Structure 1
């Protein structure tokens, strides 16, 4: 099922780097910028999440928070988060259940047969659990438009 703006965001229960299970509902006290990354420690994902880290104050002041999801295990995510001093959780979808639920599973990363991954994606979910913004790239090397995300949050949608 393809998700679109206006749809309810699929719930999830995923491990954070400290092996604590986290759910979508616990993040819905404010808008949620949900970033699906291709692979922890890959160059483009590092750039993306470092950009979000560096925009944290502005995003937080706009009444939103960031959560990243990768299909890497929690230990890889922990090393990645510690190396880059991320100030938001990176959740592990190691069985790709949530990635499938958001309809962003892609096969054969950079032609590596059967290496399934999340398409680089950003969803903004409001406090009611509704998707209010969606960006999905078919190109794992393409970064989101960070200014567009900030501008969307500024509009207060």
Structure 2
């Protein structure tokens, strides 16, 4: 199974997101709507696959403070993950890549303020994001390793 996980990591650009977070689920919906070329695959951190990926990169598996981007095995978090994702989308969103001129410390500070307060600001659901057949191609589901 480890070999399959490594193949999966190398084959895809993977976005791990908190599927119980209203803001994070809205981000997943944004990606589904705007990733016209299917460049990214989404996986929830609560899923078995998400948990395995977090363990693989020695990230916490019980509290989630950042979106994670795995780009062909390279790990990106916080504002850098956001910018790397957004720059691959079509305009006008790709224009946000210019936010990269803002020093990383400032970008990450702002990212952390939102991330650490996201449940209070946007809410939390009791259930995870529901993957429907219409959006399934955007996701990596647990059965992908079987």
Q: Give the TM-score taking structure 2 as reference length.
A: 0.43
Q: Give the TM-score taking structure 1 as reference length.
A: 0.41
